[in-house]
Amino acid sequence: MSASASATVRVMSAEEIAARSGGDVRRLIFPQRGSVYAERAMRLRQLAAGHAMGDYLVFISMLAQAQQAALDELARGSGWAVPDAQAIDRASRDGRPPLAATDWPRDERWHREVLQRIVGELQRSVGPGPVADMLDRLAAADEVHLERQADALLNGVMAGLDLASAPVVAAALQVMWTHLACQLGEAPLGLLDDAGVCPCCGSRPVASITRSSGESTGQRFLHCSLCNVEWYLERVRCSHCGKTERVAYQSLDRAGEGEADSGERAAKAAVQVETCDDCGHYLKIVHTDREPFVEPVADDLASLTLDLLVSETGLQRHGVNLMLLFGAPESTAAPPEPA
């Protein structure tokens, strides 16, 4: 998991990628229930080939496959309790996310059914070793332990968190919140004051993704690290502090590929970091028009080298990837609203 010695960071000016959105802006994109995790699994397999973190990416790909199976299973069952129209409206008027990660009451089926199903699926495909041991521990874990792990993950508290099993516990919580978000359908969620957190569950994004549809090209959405909802944020704006003045872009350029023209190369990179010198934070941005199969969680994991290089300059991640927790124990969710 080390940074490639041949990698360098290229800088690109904000003007080069100025927003060019036109037409109506879709404000929210709800997850595609039938394919959200299958697409992630496919992208992870693609990125794993020849990658320094290949084994890890393959494991997370298997985990994503198990998440898709668990979500498919939930779709066949009865719905789970979700906020009704009135509750959504009330949350919207109060500027709160309706399915707040930090205080929405969790149905115990999140671990009894979803987590155990995911663990069972992985146990069938993983050979003997530390991962199999971790899965056995999870299969035997009691409710108190699992709920504590969930609280720690959803509140961004690293103390007491079992880092080895965290991705698998987080995977079950992601499936639960994605199931709930899908049940909300296209409910009109309110705007939050903080555009840097998910309007559905209040979690931080994993990364941004640019999408084109119809007449509007290259619109940027932030992709939720928990519920997979995407929300609109204009281009060239910091997702952490909302300022625009000192936003810049960097990308990886691998030496040996014979491309010396850094500006042009960086401008075409499918994965970039959007940095803000005002608040010292950064978030990755992946571009579907440059690489149609980019996927925020997968491409964020596979570009860890970028994090290492950018963090050397003192910048902090705004994004959260529950499949790989590292760095400062900042909250994965917005602080709770004062009562």
Q: Given the rule CB under 5 A, which residues bind Zn ion?
A: 198, 200-201, 203, 224, 226-227, 229, 238, 240-241, 276, 278-279
CB of 177 to Zn ion, least distance (A): 6
- Please, which residue, 59 or 177, has the CB nearer to Zn ion? 177
CB of 245 to Zn ion, least distance (A): 9
Of 107 and 278, the one with the shorter C-beta distance to Zn ion is 278
**Closest CB to Zn ion among residues 136, 245:** 245
Minimum CB separation from Zn ion for residue 50, in Å?
33
Sole residue written with tokens 């959007």: 274
Query: For residues 155 and 204, is the Cβ–Cβ distance under 8 A?
Result: no
Which amino acid would we find at residue 149? Q
Please give the structure tokens belonging to residue 276: 């803000």
**Distance between CA atoms of residues 189 and 197, nearest Å:** 13
Closer residue to Zn ion in complex, CB, 266/276:
276
Strand pairing partners for 12? Answer: 249
* Cα angle 128-131-137, degrees, rounded to a multiple of 5: 100
Residue 231 CB, shortest distance to Zn ion, in Å, is 9
Q: How far is the CB of 124 from Zn ion (least distance, A)?
A: 30
Task: Report, in Å, the least distance between residue 295 CB and Zn ion.
Answer: 16
Nearer to Zn ion, 120 or 335 (CB): 335
Judged by CB, which is closer to Zn ion: 10, or 237?
237
Are 202 and 177 in contact by the 8 Å Cβ rule? The answer is no
CB-CB neighbours of 335 under 10 Å = 12
Q: How far apart are CA 270 and CA 328, in angstroms?
A: 27
> Count of CB atoms within 10 A of residue 126's CB?
16
3-class state of residue 112 by DSSP: helix
